[in-house]
Structures are given as structure tokens and as C-alpha cells.
């Protein structure tokens, strides 16, 4: 099947705009109120500030993980993917296990797996590395690209063998991402790891018209 377009949502920042309607989360708020607030944030088309997500507290983070199995959320693909992305941006450790299950599931779309791989890269840790390592042989190039990027984000030398394997990938894009990550590790460790140097990009060659076409072109200009 044709892969979808992977557009990773931007990370929330403190300088971005806040909701026009003020929302204050207090202890008395019910789980239903919390869910409504989360859905409002996920549905926002403009950027949401980090403070808005932080205001949800531990209860909100726990509910975000629960929503991965919510059929109403899953039926709305864009909402589901934004949920996955937010779990990554917020580095919700308890979401690693369900995200790993999504990445390994044959029933999930390649686009969902791409978002999941990226989220695991942001969260990091041994469990996330293990989940990403299990997807090195994913059939879809887009998924392997995101797996390579995710592993390249992690500050653990344990990812090096996985990056070396991805450097041999049949996809040029995947191979280059892995090679660039290995180059960064070579500089950090000050040792050779077998990173392939990316080929220099050649300037596009100027098209040369055949003699007959050059002649007709000159005649056309003189008329």
C-alpha cells in the first residue's frame, strides 16, 4: 500500500499562545472533565503551549496513555496520531509498553507506526530502544526512516549496532539517516564506527540540445 505523509507535530513551547478560554484543573475535576480537556487540546489546530499540557498533571498523563485504547480516539486518525506524538513530546515513560505494541502490530497502519517510532525516540530508555530494534526490518521505508531517526536521537551507545545495521538498508534515505547518526557517535566517542560518508551532491547538468534543435531554436529567436 502507498505510504501516507508523515508530518510530525511541532513540540509544544512555552512561548506559544494559550487557549482563549481559561481552564483550571483542580482536584474536584472528574475524569470526564479531564478527558474533555485533553480532547480539546488534541483538536486544537493552532499550537498548544507546554504549560497547557503540564497543567493536566499526573492524572492527565495517565489518561493520555489510557486513550491509546479508546475506540473513539482511534477512529479519528489525526487525533490518534496527535495523541501518540504528545506522549512522545511529554516523555511519558508509562506509554512505552503500549506504544511498543502498536509498533509491532500487523494491524496498525504504516503511518501510525511512523508516529509511534518517533514518540519512542523522544521518550528513550532501554525499553524504547528494544521496541525500535524490533522494527528494523519493517517492510515500509517510511517506518524504517522514523526508526532510524528515533534511534539517532537516543543518547545511549547501545543504539550503535542497530544504526550500523540500518546503514546497510536498501533505502538510500534510511541508510543516510543511520550513517549521519553514526558520524555523530564517531565524533562523540572519538573512534571509527564504520559510518559511510554521504556522497557529495552534484550540481544539475545543463541540458545540451542536439544540433538540429539548437538550429531550430536560433531560427525561432530571429523571427
CA-based end-to-end distance of the chain: 52
* 19: pLDDT strictly greater than 50: no
The mean pLDDT of the chain is: 83
pLDDT tier for residue 47 given thresholds of 50, 70 and 90 = confident
pLDDT digits (tens, 9 = 90+) for 97-156: 999 999 999 999 999 999 999 999 999 999 999 999 999 999 999 999 999 999 999 999
* 177: pLDDT strictly greater than 80: yes
pLDDT digits (tens, 9 = 90+) for 52-99: 888 889 999 999 999 999 999 999 999 999 999 999 999 999 999 999
Kindly report the number of other CB atoms within 10 A of residue 187's CB atom.
10
Q: Full-prediction pTM beyond 0.85? A: no
Fill in the DSSP letter of residue 156.
-
Cα-flanking dihedrals φ and ψ of residue 14, to 5°? Answer: -70, -20
SS3 20: coil
* 201: pLDDT strictly greater than 60: no
pLDDT tier for residue 218 given thresholds of 50, 70 and 90 = low
pLDDT of residue 119: 97
Q: How far apart are CA 217 and CA 210, in angstroms?
A: 11
The percent of residues above 70 in pLDDT, for the chain, comes to: 74
Amino acid at each position: 500500500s502507498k505510504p501516507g505523509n508523515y508530518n510530525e507535530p511541532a513540540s509544544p513551547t512555552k512561548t506559544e499562545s494559550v487557549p482563549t478560554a481559561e481552564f483550571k484543573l483542580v482536584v474536584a475535576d472528574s475524569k470526564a472533565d479531564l478527558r474533555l480537556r485533553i480532547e480539546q487540546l488534541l483538536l486544537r489546530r493552532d499550537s498548544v503551549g507546554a504549560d497547557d499540557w503540564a497543567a493536566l498533571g499526573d492524572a492527565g498523563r495517565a489518561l493520555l496513555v489510557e486513550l491509546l485504547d479508546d475506540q473513539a480516539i482511534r477512529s479519528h486518525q489525526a487525533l490518534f496520531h496527535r495523541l501518540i506524538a504528545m506522549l512522545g513530546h511529554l516523555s511519558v515513560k508509562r506509554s512505552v509498553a503500549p506504544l511498543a505494541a502498536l509498533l509491532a502490530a500487523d494491524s496498525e497502519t504504516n503511518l501510525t507506526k511512523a508516529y509511534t517510532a518517533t514518540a519512542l525516540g523522544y521518550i528513550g530508555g532501554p525499553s524504547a530502544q528494544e521496541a525500535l530494534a524490533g522494527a528494523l526490518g519493517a517492510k515500509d521505508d517510511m517506518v524504517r526512516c522514523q526508526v532510524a531517526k528515533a534511534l539517532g536521537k537516543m543518547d545511549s551507545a547501545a543504539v550503535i549496532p542497530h544504526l550500523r545495521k540500518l546503514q546497510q538498508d536498501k533505502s538510500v534515505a534510511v541508510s543516510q539517516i543511520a550513517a549521519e547518526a553514526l558520524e555523530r557517535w564517531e565524533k562523540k566517542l572519538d573512534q571509527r564506527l564504520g559510518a559511510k560518508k554521504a556522497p557529495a551532491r552534484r550540481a544539475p547538468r545543463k541540458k545540451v540540445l542536439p544540433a538540429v534543435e539548437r538550429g531550430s531554436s536560433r531560427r525561432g529567436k530571429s523571427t
